[in-house]
Structure 1
Amino acid sequence: MPAVFVLIWSTGFIVARFGMPHAPPMTFLAWRYALSIACFGVWIALARVAWPRTPAQWGHLAVTGVLMHAGYLGGVWAAVKAGMGAGLSALIVGLQPVLTAVWLSSTGGRVTARQWLGLTLGLAGLVLVVWHKFGHGGPGDSATPVNLAFAVAALLSITAGTLYQKRFLAPCDVRTANTVQLAAALVVTLPLAWLESEPMRWNMESAGAMAWSVLGLTLGGSSLLYLLIQRGAAASVTSLMYLVPPCTALIAWALFGEPITAMTLAGTALTAVGVALVVRGGAPR
């Protein structure tokens, strides 16, 4: 299950590159949340599954929905819309296992020397890639203060959402849980979508991006992530997550021509080694 999740998750950055030339990010995501809620609604009605039982559970689900959908996806899609490549956005968000492991270790009492080394290597690798692309990347593959801020916001949101869900959410049905999370994300995203002046342009690329976003990423990827966290497999997810940036970079090179330079390869490799050291450094789960 963790391997399947990572394969699905890595396509999210590619889908953003397909969809963003034809739509503003918050409008696209609002449509995605609404259509996903409709699909989950049909699934819930047919399966007759139970909804969360307590107001506290509804509240915790709403918080994780805002962080893991509105915050994370909003940050990634806004970064791509602002000119960041799929590979770089995946690399930045790929530091999520580092933040998660260091936080869990620090709250458990100690961050090991191995983890500090991994954190240093991961950040050094990211700096190599960002420095190379800062102001020098081509269209759709550059780093700027604006798109970096969006990507970092996405990183912080997915990290906080993962930790919050693991800490506060009691197990409940993944379909109703996802529906509550998506509804909270939609409430937060709709006002931002109304502020966007660019129209949504429907064509084969935007429709295909929307279909995969709803069916593959939300119904598939988000559901798997919820199940993995609830079943205590967070370590398995984070140990594989560092494979997402190089896979995304390779796909982005093949589909969009995003360059893979020696500096990009070196930085990505450093980041992958750093994340692996942090995750395997014995953080409590």
Structure 2
Amino acid sequence: MTRLVPIALVVLWSSGFVGATLAARSAPAETTLLWRYVVAVVPLCAWAVWTRRRYGARFLAREAVIGILGQAGYCLGVYRAADLGVLAGTSALVASLQPPLVAAALWVGSGGRTDRRQALGLLTGLAGVLLVVGGDLGATGGTAGLTAVGLGTLSLTAATLVASHWPEPPGHGVMDSLAVQYVVALGFFAAVALATGTAAPPRDADFWWAIAWLVVLPVFGGYGSYLYVLRTSGPVVVSAWLYLTPATAAVWAWVMFDEPITVHAAIGFLVAAAGVAAVVGLRRPDAQDSSAPCPTSASRR
């Protein structure tokens, strides 16, 4: 699991940028996000009821904050950027600024102590993602689109840091976190969609195909994998894996939309992979990242 889940994270997380592009063809971001969470919440709530889960006030408060930042804030930024015409690969590129943001925040919080190998790996990965889709920046949705996905990335960064520094009460797993966070995100997007008059779904089969894509791949697969790697390996490692998402998103876009993959993108993928290897490649599979929080219930199981 420790070796396979990060790979699944990269593939499934990057599928979300493609799904946002698919959905933007049929409905505005607020409509897509509302119905994405409506569909996702049903099986999660059914699971929680069937297993008779009990959540205390501390766990609910922690997951609500993470849900607002990591679900509502991040997704709204990415999907709004897709509405404004930002390419899937470019959106993934901007989102890949998260690793150095997380590392910088942890560096400040630790009083300036840092792992030189990790720092070099993060810088190498950043150079790689700039090579992957850097040439597409001039063909995006403009300043507004890049600002939207940038704000979403800051929101996800904040969620990662909160999850790392706010100890989780024992006895809860990834499914518990998903259930609470998605209910909170659903409430947020329901309020936004109703306020903007965008709650009604379009009568378009392509819209529901996009919703199915978004629920199965990035919602359960991508974010579930993200929480697992965060719990077991820490914030720097889970963020470093996201360096591989721009190249993977470019492959998704090539398959789905026939967008060409350039030579500099292929070179960038190799550079980004080298950066990720520098951060996580020398770790033992069962090693805990030095910047990770105390082991949670999920990591003890």
Normalising by structure 1, we get a TM-score of 0.82
Listed one character per residue, the Cα deviations across residues 98-141 of structure 1 (whole Å, up to 9, x for unaligned) are 22233223322324566665555555666667763344x2xxxx
The answer (yes or no) to whether the contact 2:129–2:244 under 8 Å persists in 1 is no
1:82: which partner in 2?
Answer: 84
2:298: which partner in 1?
Answer: none
Q: Which runs of 5+ in 1 are unaligned?
A: none
1:201 aligns with 2:202: yes
Q: Give 1:66 deviation, angstroms.
A: 0.4
The answer (yes or no) to whether the contact 1:22–1:200 under 8 Å persists in 2 is no
| CA RMSD across the alignment | 3.0
Listed one character per residue, the Cα deviations across residues 13-61 of structure 1 (whole Å, up to 9, x for unaligned) are 111111111011111111111221111111222233x2222x2221111
Q: Secondary structure at the match of 1:243?
A: helix
1:52 aligns with 2:50: no
The answer (yes or no) to whether the contact 1:242–1:275 under 8 Å persists in 2 is yes
Match of 1:37 among 22, 32, 41: 41
Structure 2 CA distance for aligned equivalents of residues 270 and 217 of structure 1: 25
Q: Which aligned pairs between 1:211-230 and structure 2 lie closer than 5 A?
A: 211-230=212-231
Structure 1 CA distance for aligned equivalents of residues 225 and 137 of structure 2: 34
Instruction: Return the letter of the residue paired with 2:245.
Output: V
Task: Tell me: CA distance 1:177–1:120, structure 2 relative to 1, closer, same or farther (3 Å).
Answer: closer
Q: Which runs of 5+ in 2 are unaligned?
A: 283-288, 293-301
2:12: which partner in 1?
Answer: 8
Q: Which aligned pairs between 1:97-112 and structure 2 lie closer than 5 A?
A: 97-108=99-110, 109-111=112-114
1:132: which partner in 2?
Answer: 135
2:72: which partner in 1?
Answer: 70
2:299: which partner in 1?
Answer: none
Q: How many residues align?
A: 278
Q: Which has the higher contact order (CA 8 A, sep 6+)?
A: 1
Q: Secondary structure at the match of 1:84?
A: coil
Greater CA drift, 116-125 or 91-100: 116-125
Listed one character per residue, the Cα deviations across residues 184-216 of structure 1 (whole Å, up to 9, x for unaligned) are 212222232234456632433221221132233
Q: Give 1:239 deviation, angstroms.
A: 4.3
The answer (yes or no) to whether the contact 1:80–1:86 under 8 Å persists in 2 is yes
Structure 1 CA distance for aligned equivalents of residues 40 and 202 of structure 2: 19
Match of 2:158 among 152, 160, 173: 160
Task: Tell me: CA distance 1:270–1:4, structure 2 relative to 1, closer, same or farther (3 Å).
Answer: closer
Match of 1:284 among 283, 291, 294: 291
Listed one character per residue, the Cα deviations across residues 159-179 of structure 1 (whole Å, up to 9, x for unaligned) are 111111122133414333222
The answer (yes or no) to whether the contact 1:235–1:279 under 8 Å persists in 2 is no
2:183: which partner in 1?
Answer: 183
**Among the aligned pairs, what percent are the same residue?**
33
The answer (yes or no) to whether the contact 1:72–1:157 under 8 Å persists in 2 is yes
